[in-house]
């Protein structure tokens, strides 16, 4: 919360502080200058997390472009990235990617 307040004082209108590297759950904090909003998700035991930050930020941007208010845009993006992390996959060696299209694959009846 302090980091969000400090960044807000530098001129940012809304700040999202990601909590993916915290020890407990993966709680993100959104500060709009007046109110803190907390977005909780369980910690997922996986190394396949390549692209999480870029995916989260671009999903928020896409949701805002669709006209969603900031809180709802972040909430939907958090749900999307959590599902993508949960179904990430091994590709090559080391940290694998998240599964951006998991929901589409399941809706189409394809195996992931």
8 exposed, middle or buried (CB, 10 Å; 0-12, 13-18, 19+)?
A: middle
pLDDT tens digits for 14-73? 999 998 776 678 899 999 999 999 998 888 888 888 889 999 999 999 999 999 999 999
Question: What is the DSSP secondary structure assignment for residue 19, as one 8-state letter?
Answer: -
Compute the distance between CA of residue 111 and CA of residue 68 in angstroms, rounded to an integer. 31
Question: Sorting pLDDT into bands at 50, 70 and 90, what band is 106?
Answer: confident
Q: Residue length, the chain?
A: 112
- pLDDT score recorded for residue 61: 98
Task: State the pLDDT at residue 26.
Answer: 80
- Mean of pLDDT values over 103-111: 85
Catalytic residue among 12, 33, 42, 53: 53
Q: Are strands 15-17 and 36-39 parallel, antiparallel or unpaired?
A: unpaired
Note if 53 is an active site residue: yes
* Active site (annotated) includes residue 49: yes
Catalytic residue among 14, 49, 59, 78: 49
Q: Which of 12, 33, 54, 106 is catalytic?
A: 54
């Amino acid at each position: 919360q302090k980091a969000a307040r400090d960044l807000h004082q530098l001129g940012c209108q809304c700040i999202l502080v990601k909590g993916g590297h915290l020890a407990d759950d993966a709680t993100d904090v959104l500060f709009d200058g007046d109110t803190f909003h907390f977005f909780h998700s369980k910690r997922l035991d996986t190394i396949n997390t390549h692209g999480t930050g870029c995916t989260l930020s671009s999903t928020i941007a896409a949701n805002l472009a669709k006209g969603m208010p900031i809180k709802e845009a972040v909430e939907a993006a958090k749900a999307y990235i959590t599902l993508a992390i949960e179904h990430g996959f091994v590709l090559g060696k080391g940290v694998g990617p998240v599964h951006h299209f998991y929901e589409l694959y399941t809706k189409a009846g394809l195996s992931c």
